[in-house]
Structure 1
Amino acid sequence: MKRFYSVGLISCLVFVLASCSDSSDPKQPEPQQVAEKATPKQQETKPTCQLNMGWDPWAPYQYLTPENEVKGLEIELVSAMAKEAGCELKFVQKSWMNLLNGIRNGSIDLLGGASKTSARERFARFSDEYRNESFILYVRRGEADKFKGESLKDLLASGFKLGVTEDYIYGDEVSMLQDDPATAEKFVSVPTTEVNYYNLIQNRIDGFLEDPFVAAYTIRRKGLGDEIEAHPIRVHSGNVALMFSKKSVNEDTVIAFNEALTRLMENGEYKRILDKYSF
């Protein structure tokens, strides 16, 4: 009897263990199912590239808000291109010269608003040109018609005093007039662009040259809409592109940005951003 009891007891234990094992089997695939569901979501949010974009303050193209956020026309344009190209941007603030050195050594991946030169092509790749840089003549409100139809050279020859900002590159036309003894003395140079607005209102100059987006931002911020207006004269200084470091960015990334720019122009997002910073 004892032997029969032992065998029966062992049989019962084996049956119980087998039953417990069977009841747990359906739960085993669940971790795998959860992982499979999470994978597509992770792939959607992960950027294909991460880039350090250098910037230096120049409102409204690039500036820091009171909330410590980097904003501006240039920032919005490049961010839109990066998003369309599947890239994530990290903003790094330095002086322009230090940013150029960063492009050379690869610590900075890209810069916006850069002019393409043979010297820079030795260490940088360039995107397609995406923005036209020009300067407009601004005069006191009500005086635009007074100088209507005249060229910048004719204005200066007639005694027109023109305000310019030191170290700005206004293009070949202005450079030639600044080098010409007959017109050079008509230029009034100031260290910062905002001095031109003050000099114009105080009748110290007859007009000044300014980037239209910078002028729109400054006039709006200072409430000078009733005192200053744009003149039809526009001076083209060149087109700008994105500049990528050859040390850290490959050609495929540049192509992706070019394709992104094309799509933004086609879907209207490019124009929407530009219009946001215009009058």
Structure 2
Amino acid sequence: MSLFKYVPVLLLLFLALPAKSALQVNSPLPCHKTIKVGYNDWPPYAWQDPQGEAQGLDVDLMRAFAVYLGCEINFINVPAKRSHQMLKAGQLDVLMGATMTDERQAYAHFSSYYRDEELRLFVLDEQKDQINIDKWEDIFTKKLRLLVPSSGWYGADYQESQYRLEQEHLLVLSPDSDKSVQMLTYGRGDMIVGDTMAMPYIASQHQHIKLVPLKLVLDQNHIHLMLSKASMTPSQLEQFNQAIKALMDNGEITRVINKWQQMSLAKQSNMSRLNSPLKTLYVSP
């Protein structure tokens, strides 16, 4: 009699097992596949080294998120505009270092922010006493030519007055930040717009010159991961948010950011000790 007493209980346990197993197989885990992470050359946040490996602040953080989640990731170097098209089509799963906009939210999930960004105007060190602006309108009243990389977000003031800058011949577009710095040294613009860490880093590392930021702050934004709506689910987004929170709480994100800030400051300090005149470093084409 005791055997029959427990048969219904055993039968219920047996019937429950397949359902639990199916739930595990179908659960939207963040790493059911290798995650394709797009990036473009934007030091010190991301760039491709001579060996073809991704390097940079955002790259280090993305690797840390992947380790926390147990993810396999594949970094793919692509131009900025193309990377967004690939994310929209699901050919890339994640983009790093993104500012949230309404347009981008149409095709991407945005993670919790993991760092901040500040945009400012920069001039060559030797011109810091000649060029000063207190407000955006001073660009027009003083007829200052503004060098702007063609892809990116540069604040509401720039967005709203881009057409006016073009009409008054004060806007000089460039393919990227590196080329913008080169053009600044050639005298093709008076100022350059960019991220407060990236622009001085690019100038010192790639062009061996020192840039000085003007006091006007153009914009301040939280920076996020973008996950493709075509290839990544809201559940996967939540997993990445958990990783960001965990690494924020344990200090790993702060440690990585501080490391790259110190490296950037060190490179700029080295530039301030260079005594070679600018004309010996550059020859106009």
CA distance in 2, matches of 1:203, 1:97: 27
Q: In the alignment, residue 162 of structure 1 is paired with which amino acid?
A: L
Deviation readout 1:134-190 (Å, 9 max, x if unpaired)? 422111215435545611322431232322223443122012333337984323333
Matches within 5 A, 1:40-119: 49=31, 50-60=33-43, 61-96=45-80, 98-118=82-102
The aligned residue for residue 259 of structure 1 is 242
Matched, 1:156 2:152: no
Deviates more, 1:50-59 or 1:72-81: 50-59
Q: Which is further off, 96-105 or 130-139?
A: 96-105
Does residue 268 in structure 1 map to residue 257 in structure 2? no
RMSD, aligned α-carbons: 3.1
How many angstroms apart in 1 are the aligned matches of 2:179 and 2:79?
22
Distance 1:97 1:204 in 2: 24
Paired with 2:245 and 2:163, the residues of 1 have a C-alpha distance of 39
Does structure 2 conserve the Cα–Cα contact (< 8 Å) formed by 1:52 and 1:92?
A: no
Q: Are the structure 2 counterparts of residues 91 and 190 from structure 1 closer, same or farther at C-alpha, using a change threshold of 3 Å?
A: closer
Assess if the C-alpha contact under 8 Å between 1:136 and 1:211 holds in 2.
Answer: yes
1:163 to 1:269, Cα distance in 2 relative to 1, 3 A: same
Q: Paired residue for 1:241?
A: 224
Cα contact 1:170–1:237 (8 A) shared by 2: no
For 1:195-234, what aligned pairs fall within 5 Å after superposition? Answer: 195-221=179-205, 222-225=207-210, 228-234=211-217
| 8 Å Cα contact 1:169/1:237 also seen in 2 | no
Q: Is it true that 1:188 corresponds to 2:179 in the alignment?
A: no
Distance 2:115 2:253 in 1: 10
> Which of 131, 137, 150 does residue 121 from structure 2 map onto?
137
Gaps of 5+ in 2: 1-28, 266-285
Instruction: Report the 3-state secondary structure (helix = DSSP H, G, I; strand = E; otherwise coil) of the residue aligned with 1:244.
Output: strand
Q: How many residues align?
A: 231
Compared CA separation, residues 82 and 203, structure 1 to 2 (3 A): same
* Structure 1, gaps ≥5 residues long: 1-46
**Alignment-mate amino acid for residue 239 of structure 2:** A
Q: Which structure has the larger Rg?
A: 1
CA distance in 2, matches of 1:233, 1:250: 40
| Superposed displacement of residue 224, structure 1 | 0.9
Scaled by the length of structure 1, the TM-score of the pair is 0.68
